[in-house]
Amino acid sequence: MENFTIQFTLFPMSITNARDYFLRTWPQLPEEILQDLAGIFHPHSAKRKTILTAEGEVEKYLYLVLEGVQRAYAIGEDGREATLIFTYALSFSGVADSFLLQRPSRYWFETLTPSQFLRASFQDFDAVLCQHPRLERVLRLAICETLEGVLVRQIEVQSYTAEQRFRTLMQRSPHLLQLIPHKYIANYLGMDATNFSKLLGQIRI
């Protein structure tokens, strides 16, 4: 059983190159595979509030976040935004389903703060997976974890009260409070600004 962790994994030391990241994430991978995988990731930076993938576009890249916060959000027919997920260092980012299936994205992906990434194109990603079947397995397990995260979030959205959702997020990602405008967090939690402010006041005391 290959051992790995992926989403929301915060390493104590800062990571600036892909090889170090993959070495820590999948220490069991042989050096050759690590090198080939790391080789397809290239630096990319984006200013605050840059749309990296628009609805209807096919996601070209798999991102690894080195710095900054990003979000994926859908825009409803009434024009209202629904924030689906936040990403930050060190996790994968981008529109995962659009990337893996190479189908048009149903939602948007943007930076919320100035951001640094390493990113790989789909062509390179596909090629390195074909070359190293062992990576397919590692990737399958990683996607399982992501799927688990999505389903857990689904439970939160459907069966938690607003206050429970707030407390869960504060346990998982309290640092978001001082990194991004609170309207995005309130939106992710499905509450209005006034309610969010009240709950924030409670934990402040």
Number of alpha carbons in the 13 Å side-chain half-sphere of residue 70:
29
Nearer of residues 1 and 205 to other proteins, judged by Cβ? 205
Dihedral sign from CA coordinates of 58, 64, 68, 70: positive
Q: Is 96 in the site for other proteins (CB under 8 A)?
A: no
> 24, 114, 126, 156: which one contacts other proteins (CB under 8 A)?
114
Q: Is 45 in the site for other proteins (CB under 8 A)?
A: no
Nearer of residues 42 and 48 to other proteins, judged by Cβ? 48
Q: Is 204 in the site for other proteins (CB under 8 A)?
A: yes
> 5, 102, 197, 202: which one contacts other proteins (CB under 8 A)?
197
Q: What is the 3-state secondary structure (H, E, C) of 60-113?
A: CEEEEEEECEEEEEEECCCCCEEEEEEEECCCEECCHHHHHHCCECCCEEEECC
Q: What is the dihedral of CA 9, 90, 119, 87, to 10 degrees?
A: 90
Rounded CA-CA distance 141/194 in Å is: 40
Nearer of residues 113 and 168 to other proteins, judged by Cβ? 113
Nearer of residues 42 and 183 to other proteins, judged by Cβ? 183
Q: Is 183 in the site for other proteins (CB under 8 A)?
A: yes
> Which residues of the chain form contacts with other proteins (CB under 8 A)?
47-49, 114, 177-183, 193-194, 197, 201, 204
